[in-house]
Structure 1
């Protein structure tokens, strides 16, 4: 893969970084979204609201809230941020409509994201969904 440099207007980039739910981590993540190179960035159609969006709508999760996934065997902790539309934005800038989809994108295998992801106080998403 050949990498090319694209200059991003400072004013536009600053605006994107300061949005209520930041749209970018890097200029490259913006371009990946615009070109459709992220695999799970589609906006849910009416009637297809994700369970995470329901948690945001009910106030059990907040837009901008950080979640962690501690992988003891890999000695690694992954971070995600809840977006205002009820998705998880990973450290690489990709967004995922389900916690399990986010885990799969990181690990490459199927993992129950409802039990894997926790709020910063240690509450698993499963507990928030079941309340």
Structure 2
């Protein structure tokens, strides 16, 4: 096996076209170059993301905006909740968890649950997650 170096833009492409914890970068390249493996379709079904149970609790809706503001850096980072509970960035990259999505936007490891604000309600994702868990516990 040979090793190659790739730039950040190519790596981001590989991430966008991979199933986390399933595909290796080599799997994505083989699929893209040779058509091997699972279908490479933008419409393929993926596993539900971490926000799915909050959608099911009807505390957020697909298409709702998430926002993280960094006042000292004078930067605001927006994202959108997808129908399958993922966090989608404006550049099209999608993440099953909020923290990796926020890290992709800021370049730093930040707790996405604690730092993303659900724009329609003005509440942090962490607060919504805790409320959804309480609803789920009551219905069990």
Normalised by the size of structure 2, how large is the TM-score?
A: 0.60
- Go from structure 1 to structure 2 and tell me whether the alpha carbon gap of 1:82 and 1:124 turns closer, same or farther (over 3 Å shift): same
Equivalent residue, structure 2, for 1:29? none
- 8 Å CA contact 1:68–1:77 kept in 2: the answer is yes
- 8 Å CA contact 1:70–1:78 kept in 2: the answer is yes
Q: Distance in 1 between matches of 2:102 and 2:68?
A: 9
- 8 Å CA contact 1:40–1:97 kept in 2: the answer is no
1:129 aligns to 2:129 (yes or no): yes
Query: Unmatched 5+ residue regions in structure 1?
Result: 1-31
Residues 73-126 of structure 1 show CA distances to partners (whole Å, capped at 9, x for unaligned) of 210111111000001111111111111011111122211001111011421001
Q: Distance in 2 between matches of 1:59 and 1:101?
A: 24
Equivalent residue, structure 1, for 2:80? 81
Equivalent position SS for 2:79: strand
Normalised by the size of structure 1, how large is the TM-score?
A: 0.63
Once the two structures are TM-superposed, the CA of residue 37 in structure 1 deviates from its matched residue by: 2.4
Residues 30-70 of structure 1 show CA distances to partners (whole Å, capped at 9, x for unaligned) of xx9xxx623476322xxxx4331111122111001111111
Q: Which runs of 4+ in 1 moved over 4 A?
A: none
Q: Distance in 2 between matches of 1:59 and 1:67?
A: 16
- 8 Å CA contact 1:40–1:95 kept in 2: the answer is no
Q: Distance in 1 between matches of 2:49 and 2:83?
A: 12
Equivalent position SS for 1:37: helix
Equivalent residue, structure 2, for 1:7? none
- 8 Å CA contact 2:50–2:86 kept in 1: the answer is no
Q: Give the CA RMSD over aligned residues.
A: 2.0
Which structure has the larger Rg over C-alpha atoms? Answer: 2
